Amino acid sequence: MKMQRTIIALALAGCVGSSIAPAVAQEHDTPTPPMLKWSFSGPFGRYDQGQLQRGFKIYKEVCAACHSIQMLAFRNLADPGGPGFSEAQAAAVAADYKIKDLDDKGEPTERPGRLADTFPPPFANELVAKAANGGVAPPDMSTLAKARTFERGFPWFVFDTITQYQEQGPDYIAALLNGYEEPPKGFQLPQGGHYNKYFPGHNIAMSPPLQAGQVTFDDGAPQTQEQYSKDISAFLMWAAEPHMVARKRIGLQVMIVLIVLAGLMYFTKKKVWHEVEKPREIARGQDPKKTAA
């Protein structure tokens, strides 16, 4: 039975490979991704600009060869709460890209990117992407960090409401990027597959993408695979949730207003109800305001 399930899982993974990338890692022999420390976790969390810039560099130099990020526009690089590029820097990034367009005679042409453009995909369409990647189209990365998770299980998911743990996505992606290893004895890895201990089913089509020293950082951050994995995961979290910093900032203001409001309402209610809740004192001719509430 278990053997059968494994075969089915493998066959499925072989057919659709990493493009399904199920959101929930359900295999019992899949380890739980380690919980990393993120600058953007918790009620006061904000993105680390340096980390987002490093992550963007990794995306541009490595991931972008196969993965599109079509919902991200060049102008987003200069948005508040993001990687902190200046508008001129973002425009310079955009100008490096060739955007397909029509000229004023209606003929197809290519022009340099502008701030308003979104990042052009590496492949013309999904079929080309599939054909170039062994039958599996690499997923678009715009919402990837929110589209990946792992099962927290009871009771942890209850505690998560209090601790505000919301970083399953980046934790999973970072773990996956560090999770390539030799397949265990007896594991039949299909042709073109790679063994990854965090990937559901363990057979991932993507070859190990990040090696130490591959991307040069000019801010002195270590150029290790672990650092790369973490930085790209942070970048993808920002790409998936670009207004998170504003959300948490406004959230704090809203919380303060609501708690003050609820407090005032509580004392209003107490005052209004005092005479109803202390009718005996009233009957005895006492002033209810002078008795204990």
Partner 1 sequence: MSGHSTYQPQSKVLQWLEKRLPIGGLVHSSFVVYPVPRNLNYLWTFGGILAFMLGVQIVTGIVLAMHYTPHVDLAFRSVEGIMRDVNYGWLLRYLHANGASMFFLAVYVHMFRGIYYGSYKEPREVLWILGVIIYLLMMATGFMGYVLVWGQMSFWAATVITNLFSAIPGVGDTIVTWLWGGYAVGNPTLNRFYSLHYLLPFVIAGVVVLHIWALHVVGQNNPTGIEPKSEKDTVAFTPYATAKDGFFLAAFVILYAWFVFYIPNFLGHADNYIPANPAVTPTHIVPEWYYLPFYAILRAIPDKLIGVIALGASIVILAFLPWLDTSRVRSARYRPLFRQFFWLFVIVCVGLGWLGSKPPEGIYVILARVFTIYYFAFFLVILPLLGIFEKTKPLPNSISESVLGAKA
Q: Which residues contact 63 (CB under 8 A, 6 or more apart)?
A: 141, 209, 232
Q: How many residues bind partner 1 (CB under 8 A)?
A: 50
Task: State the minimum distance, in angstroms, from the CB of residue 273 to partner 1.
Answer: 6
Angle at 280 between CA 279 and CA 285, to 5 degrees: 95
Q: Is 282 in the site for partner 1 (CB under 8 A)?
A: no
DSSP state of 196: B
Q: Which residues contact 38 (CB under 8 A, 6 or more apart)?
A: 45, 167, 170, 234, 237
Nearer of residues 40 and 180 to partner 1, judged by Cβ: 40
Which of 11, 34, 35, 43 contacts partner 1 by CB under 8 A? 43
CB atoms within 10 A of CB 245: 18
Nearer of residues 3 and 276 to partner 1, judged by Cβ: 276
Q: Is 22 in the site for partner 1 (CB under 8 A)?
A: yes
Helix (H) or strand (E) run with residue 99 in it: strand 98-102
Using the rule CB under 8 A, give the single segment among 48-56, 90-98, 260-268, 285-293 that binds partner 1. 260-268
DSSP of 61-87: HTGGGT---TT-BGGGGGSTTTT---H
Task: State the minimum distance, in angstroms, from the CB of residue 43 to partner 1.
Answer: 6
Using the rule CB under 8 A, give the single segment among 81-89, 100-108, 174-182, 255-263 that binds partner 1. 255-263
CB atoms within 10 A of CB 141: 25
Task: State the minimum distance, in angstroms, from the CB of residue 191 to partner 1.
Answer: 21
Nearer of residues 1 and 186 to partner 1, judged by Cβ: 1
Q: Is 1 exposed, middle or buried (0-12, 13-18, 19+ CB in 10 A)?
A: exposed
Q: Looking at the chain, list the stretches that DSSP marks H as alpha helix, in order from N- to C-terminal side.
A: 2-16, 49-61, 87-95, 126-132, 144-147, 156-163, 168-177, 225-240, 244-277, 279-283
Which of 65, 88, 128, 259 contacts partner 1 by CB under 8 A? 259
* Cβ–Cβ < 8 Å for 231, 48: no
Q: Is 87 in the site for partner 1 (CB under 8 A)?
A: no
Binding mask 164-183 for partner 1 (x = CB under 8 A): x-x-xx--------------
Using the rule CB under 8 A, give the single segment among 54-62, 159-167, 212-220, 222-230 that binds partner 1. 159-167
Residue 93 identity (one-letter amino acid): V
Three-state SS sequence of 142-154:
CCHHHHCCCCCCC
Which of 273, 286, 287, 293 contacts partner 1 by CB under 8 A? 273
Nearer of residues 60 and 248 to partner 1, judged by Cβ: 248
Task: Report the interface residues with partner 1, using CB under 8 A.
Answer: 16, 19-20, 22-24, 26, 43, 71, 76, 139-140, 142-144, 146-149, 154, 160-161, 164, 166, 168-169, 200, 240, 242-243, 247-248, 250-252, 254-255, 258-259, 261-262, 265-266, 268-269, 272-273, 276, 279-280
